[in-house]
């Protein structure tokens, strides 16, 4: 099996796909008076109309909702690869001026060094006792982008040119180190007693419509987690319910947890998953499927993430399917012009994390991601959380800017645009500090 050849798709720069002209012609609504008013599906009512009245019944309803999201939105993902293996490739006990131990680990998806590999970067806070909680997130531009640490191995895989980020001739250069450090603030995370783990999302799949041909979706079938037999003819198309790129990236996050469960320096029962933008959508889907994530954080995830699809404010289903047809499964395209027929909406995606804590973060200027729709979605998930005796989202009205809510469903609206800022990390770390100690051993 040939190694993967990941491609970079930098959201912050608004790189365009071949369908960009068609996408630009799709009307976008920014008028609250014109938002959709179709009723939301009830997460606490089975498809046959039977109400959900207990946590036990929710477990059954949860499976029904997962099936609906798999069928109509994100597609079906395989399980853990049978030959998954781990190899520590470098360790530095004096990284970041002695603040941390840096560890790089290859997650060999077929057990082979020359097969598809996820390159994990892990920082462990020095001086901490064993079994520390972990902040985990996928990054957009390669592991060196999160910190200028000269010891992080430069990726050798192909990337999309981004000279401002130090990516030239489709290769990361020394100039790429720390190009997105402001989004991660690794030192702050470590000083709070958390380990930090990250993976380049392109290790899993290039972010373009043909990315699946060289990503994990070409290696693993949608069921069983087995590798494709050598005698099998090359895949030329995917079925409509097969996993999309978001499913592939989410699947990779679960493989990171597979590794963390073997590393006694961390507490794999206390993994806090954060995702921004399209990777915020990914984090929500990963947390919905894999209950090993203790806390899920969605930042500016918008359409296909935390925002309600039925509102039709900012980016809408038709626009996202046109601009990014590879993110979701084929069935999701049916709802581009008929969102009311979609049997689920994003509040039910948030609800699938229940009763685990979850945080939805919005930005005031990020109208494209529909900040109000993100709040309303979190609010509509609250009945499921209250079924478990928690407070859900303890905010009856959309909070003002910089008025964070740290109930079991957390939320804040901050000033500024589509980005990850120190303010966001301050809230997420406080949220994790509050909720992780209270979580029972699973």
Q: In this structure, what DSSP letter does residue 396 have? A: S
Nearest to 94 by CA among 73, 125, 70, 72: 125
3-state secondary structure of 230: coil
Sequence length of the chain is 442
353 contacts 289 by C-beta, under 8 angstroms: no
Q: Please tell me the distance from the alpha carbon of residue 394 to that of residue 89, in angstroms, as a whole number.
A: 45
Tell me which residue has tokens 């990777």: 279
Q: Cis peptide before 355, with omega less than 30 degrees from 0?
A: yes
- 277 as an active site residue: the answer is yes
Q: Of 331, 412, 418, 435, which one is the catalytic site residue? A: 418
377-415 burial, b at 16+ Cβ within 10 Å, e below that, comes to bbbbbbbbbbbeebebbebeeebeeeebbbbbbbbbbbe
- Which residues are within 8 A (CB) of 216 and not within 5 positions of it... i.e. 6 or more apart? 4, 109, 116, 204, 205, 248, 251, 252
Rg (CA), the chain: 21
The tokens for 121 are: 């970067």
Q: Taking Cα atoms as reference points, which of 391, 377, 282, 287 lies closest to residue 62?
A: 287
Is residue 407 flagged as an active site residue? no
Is 432:296 a contact under the CB 8 Å cutoff? no
Of 395, 408, 404, 396, which is closest to residue 434 (Cα–Cα)? 408
CB 29 within 8 A of CB 313: yes
CB neighbourhood size of 351 (10 A): 28
| Residue tagged active-site, from 176, 277, 377, 407 | 277
For residue 196, what are its two tokens?
């930090």
Q: In whole angstroms, what is the distance from residue 280 CA to residue 370 CA?
A: 14
Catalytic residues: 277, 418
């Amino acid at each position: 099996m040939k190694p993967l050849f990941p491609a970079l798709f930098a959201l912050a720069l608004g790189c365009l796909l071949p369908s960009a002209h068609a996408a630009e012609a799709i009307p976008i609504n920014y008028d609250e008076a014109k938002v959709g008013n179709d009723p939301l599906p009830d997460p606490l009512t089975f498809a046959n109309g039977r109400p959900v009245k207990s946590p036990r019944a929710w477990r059954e309803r949860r499976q029904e909702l997962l099936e609906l999201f798999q069928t109509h939105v994100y597609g079906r993902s395989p399980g853990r690869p049978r030959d998954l293996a781990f190899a520590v490739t470098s360790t530095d006990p004096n990284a970041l001026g002695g603040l941390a131990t840096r560890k790089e680990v290859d997650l060999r998806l077929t057990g082979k060094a020359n097969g598809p590999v996820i390159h994990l970067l892990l920082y462990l806070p020095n001086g901490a006792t064993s079994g520390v909680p972990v902040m985990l997130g996928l990054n957009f531009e390669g592991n060196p982008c999160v910190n200028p640490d000269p010891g992080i191995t430069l990726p050798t895989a192909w990337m999309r040119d981004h000279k401002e980020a130090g990516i030239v001739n489709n290769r990361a250069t020394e100039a790429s180190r720390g190009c997105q450090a402001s989004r991660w603030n690794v030192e702050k995370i470590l000083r709070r007693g958390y380990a930090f783990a990250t993976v380049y999302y392109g290790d899993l799949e290039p972010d373009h419509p043909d990315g699946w041909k060289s990503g994990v979706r070409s290696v693993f079938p949608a069921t069983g987690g087995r590798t494709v037999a050598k005698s099998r003819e090359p895949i030329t198309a995917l079925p409509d319910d097969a996993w999309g790129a978001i499913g592939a990236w989410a699947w990779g996050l679960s493989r990171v947890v597979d590794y963390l469960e073997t590393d006694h320096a961390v507490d794999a029962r206390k993994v806090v998953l954060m995702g921004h933008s399209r990777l915020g959508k990914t984090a929500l889907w990963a947390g919905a499927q894999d209950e090993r994530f203790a806390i899920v954080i969605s930042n500016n995830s918008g359409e296909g993430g935390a925002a309600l699809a039925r509102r039709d404010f900012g980016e809408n289903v038709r626009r996202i399917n046109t601009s990014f047809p590879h993110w979701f499964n084929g069935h999701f395209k049916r709802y581009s012009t008929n969102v009311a027929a979609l049997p689920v909406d994003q509040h039910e995606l948030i609800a699938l994390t229940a009763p685990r804590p979850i945080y939805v973060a919005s930005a005031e200027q990020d109208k494209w991601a529909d900040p109000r729709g993100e709040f309303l979605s979190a609010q509509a998930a609250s009945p499921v959380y209250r079924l478990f005796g928690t407070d859900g989202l303890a905010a009856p009205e959309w909070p003002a800017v910089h008025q964070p809510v740290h109930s079991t469903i957390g939320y804040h609206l901050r000033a500024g645009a589509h980005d990850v800022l120190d303010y966001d990390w301050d809230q997420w770390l406080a949220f994790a500090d509050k909720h992780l100690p209270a979580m029972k051993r699973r």
